[in-house]
């Protein structure tokens, strides 16, 4: 029996019972749709993490205040500002470090003419922009002289600039931050959302000295040099581990932590994002396991339906064997039917999975990425399941004896 005849006979058998065929397809469709949608969500999340690492900056280290214990009173990490501008300067002098930037911040209202906007004001130095690889769209960043003199100059993020000035060029304009006039000297290029969803462009930067004297630091009567965190960049990705060790040793010495726990933490942006990526992949694997179970259930439904078909078509099988069909022809026909069911279910499942992934992206704002290899693998696995679960019914049909099969009519 020619292959074309086998395929035609298989298609005819499936079309003769559309309701049964559709019910059989459902298990495969749902299973493949789950595989495709979960893989798309997982790949999208990993892509988002990669973009976030690139947007934040390469080889970036973040030094945050750690848990402290003073006079018997303990505070959680970040509860007390244990880092200073001098710490940042010492870190910047390390051979493994390219740049270091002390940073303090606060949420304040900025006024420009008849507009106002609540945004985050960061006090930092010019190294912050080099570490973050953040370019200016117009104007410039502040100079070292402006930093040391606590000059009242500001660099705006793209969102803050648009909210305060609209389509007007902000460079050279005056904004009031906590009633202190600052001259806008530059606007940064857009960065987009950070990995935690926060808009990186809704921000304004001023020299760290100006922030300490006139803005954020004015509220800290204990230490005007205290900062919220320190950003640093290693000289290369190969030096990241050495840079972390150098910063740890330096700050332990500066903070006199011999015999005591560190009052700071040193992390890399890539490590923090990788942790989020690992949790996302774990969830995706769990969901993928559920999807695989759905495929197995779909394969079992194919096997059951094919066994029912063998029983119903026993007289037909006996007649074909009696007129010269070989057992392998019978087995091939039923196996082709199972593979066709699985393949069609796989294609429809891919379409349904793509729609489900698009709905997730639209309504939940979760990134999705459907990769070609995922589609090929899903359809291939579905077809393989068809062969695996269709083999037994096909084998059973091929072993029927012609006389016994004809008598069952």
Tens digit of pLDDT for each residue in 212-228?
887 765 444 445 678 99
Structure tokens at 229: 């965190």
In this structure, is residue 227 part of a structural domain? yes
Residues 142 and 188 in one domain: yes
Residue 283, beta-bridge partner list: none
CA distance 303 to 386: 8
> How far is residue 17 from each of residues 23, 309, 339, 385, 390, measured CA to CA in Å?
10, 10, 17, 21, 18
Q: How far apart are CA 33 and CA 351, in angstroms?
A: 7
The verdict on 216 and 178 lying in the same domain is: yes
Residue 399 lies in a domain: yes
3-state helix, strand, coil in the chain (%, to 5): 55, 20, 25
Task: Give the domain extent around 230.
Answer: 83-262
Tokens of 19: 């309701």
Q: Is 85 helix (H, G, I), strand (E, B) or coil?
A: helix
Same domain, yes or no, for 148 and 284?
no
Q: Compute the distance between CA of residue 85 and CA of residue 215 in angstroms, rounded to an integer.
A: 16
Radius of gyration of the CA atoms of the chain, in A: 33
Q: What are phi and psi of 253, to 5 degrees?
A: -70, -45
Closest-CA residue to 208 (of 254, 265, 142, 130): 142
Q: Is residue 267 part of a domain?
A: no
* Residues 366, 329 share a domain: yes
Verify that 93 and 167 share a domain, yes or no.
Answer: yes
Distance of CA 215 to the CA centre of its chain: 36
**For residue 222, what pLDDT is reported?**
45
H helix or E strand, kind and range, residue 333:
helix 327-364
Distances (CA, A) of 230 to 223, 227, 256, 353: 16, 7, 19, 44
| Model pLDDT, residue 9 | 57
Structure tokens that stand for 238 in this block? 């190969």
Where does residue 351 rank: exposed (0-12), middle (13-18), buried (19+ CB within 10 A)?
middle
Residue 373 CB neighbours (<10 A): 9
Which residue, of 223, 242, 262, is where some domain finishes? 262
* Whether residue 128 is found in the same domain as residue 255: yes
252/365 same-domain check = no
Instruction: Give CA–CA dist 24/22, Å, rounded.
Output: 5
For tokens 């104007």, what's the residue? Answer: 139
Contact 122, 136 (CB under 8 A): no
How confident is the model at residue 331, as a pLDDT?
A: 76
Return the pLDDT at 253.
Answer: 92
Query: Which residues of the chain are modeled with pLDDT < 50?
Result: 1, 71-78, 218-222
For residue 391, the Cα-to-chain-centroid distance in whole angstroms is 40
Contact 87, 256 (CB under 8 A): no
Cα 84 from Cα 227, distance rounded (Å): 5
Q: Is residue 328 part of a domain?
A: yes
In this structure, are 279 and 258 located in the same domain? no
One domain for residues 12 and 106? no
Q: Last residue of some domain: 212, 228, 262?
A: 262
| Domain finish residue from 231, 262, 293 | 262
Does some domain include residue 57?
Answer: no
Measured CA to CA in angstroms, residue 172 lies from 168, 202, 230 at distances of 11, 19, 29
What is the reported pLDDT for 90? 95
What residues are paired with 63 via a beta bridge? 230, 266
Helices and strands (DSSP H and E) totals, the chain: 13, 14
Q: Residues 300, 331: one domain?
A: yes
Do residues 28 and 160 share a domain?
A: no
- Total domains present in the chain: 2
The pLDDT, as a whole number, for residue 7 is 59
Q: In terms of domains, do 355 and 281 share one?
A: yes
In a domain, 76, yes or no: no
Position 64 in a domain: no
Residue 60 domain-assigned?
Answer: no
């Amino acid at each position: 029996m020619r292959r074309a005849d086998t395929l035609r006979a298989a298609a005819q058998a499936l079309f003769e019972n559309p309701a049964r065929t559709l019910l059989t397809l459902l298990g495969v469709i749902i299973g493949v749709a789950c595989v495709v949608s979960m893989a798309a969500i997982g790949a999208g999340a990993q892509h988002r993490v990669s973009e976030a690492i690139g947007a934040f900056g390469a080889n970036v280290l973040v030094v945050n205040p750690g848990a402290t214990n003073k006079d018997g009173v303990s505070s959680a990490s970040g509860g007390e500002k244990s880092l200073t501008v001098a710490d940042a300067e010492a870190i910047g002098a390390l051979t493994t470090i390219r740049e270091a930037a002390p940073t303090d911040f606060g949420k304040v209202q900025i006024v420009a003419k008849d507009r106002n906007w609540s945004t985050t004001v960061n006090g930092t130095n010019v190294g912050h922009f080099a570490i973050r690889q953040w370019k200016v769209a117009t104007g410039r960043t502040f100079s070292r002289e402006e930093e040391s003199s606590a000059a009242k100059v500001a660099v705006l993020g793209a969102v803050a600039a648009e909210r305060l000035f609209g389509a007007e060029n902000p460079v050279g304009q005056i904004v009031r931050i906590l009633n202190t006039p600052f001259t806008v000297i530059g606007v940064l290029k857009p960065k987009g959302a950070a990995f935690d969803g926060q808009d990186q462009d809704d921000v304004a930067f001023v020299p760290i000295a100006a922030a300490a004297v006139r803005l954020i630091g004015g509220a800290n009567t204990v230490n005007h040099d205290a900062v919220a965190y320190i950003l640093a960049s290693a000289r290369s990705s190969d030096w990241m581990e050495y840079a972390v060790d150098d910063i740890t040793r330096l700050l332990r010495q500066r903070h006199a932590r011999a015999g005591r726990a560190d009052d700071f933490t040193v992390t890399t942006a890539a490590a923090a994002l990788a942790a989020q990526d690992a949790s996302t992949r774990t969830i995706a694997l769990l969901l993928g396991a559920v999807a695989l179970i759905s495929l197995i259930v779909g394969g079992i439904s194919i096997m059951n339906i094919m066994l029912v078909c063998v029983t119903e078509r026993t007289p037909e099988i006996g007649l074909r064997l009696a007129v010269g069909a070989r057992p392998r022809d019978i087995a091939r026909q039923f196996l082709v039917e199972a593979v066709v069911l699985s393949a069609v279910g796989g294609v429809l499942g891919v379409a349904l999975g793509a729609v489900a992934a698009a709905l997730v992206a639209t309504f939940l704002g979760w990134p999705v990425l459907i990769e070609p290899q995922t589609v090929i693998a899903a359809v291939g696995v579905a077809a393989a399941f068809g062969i695996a679960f269709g083999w037994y019914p096909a084998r059973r049909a091929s072993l029927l004896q012609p006389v016994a099969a004809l008598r069952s009519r």
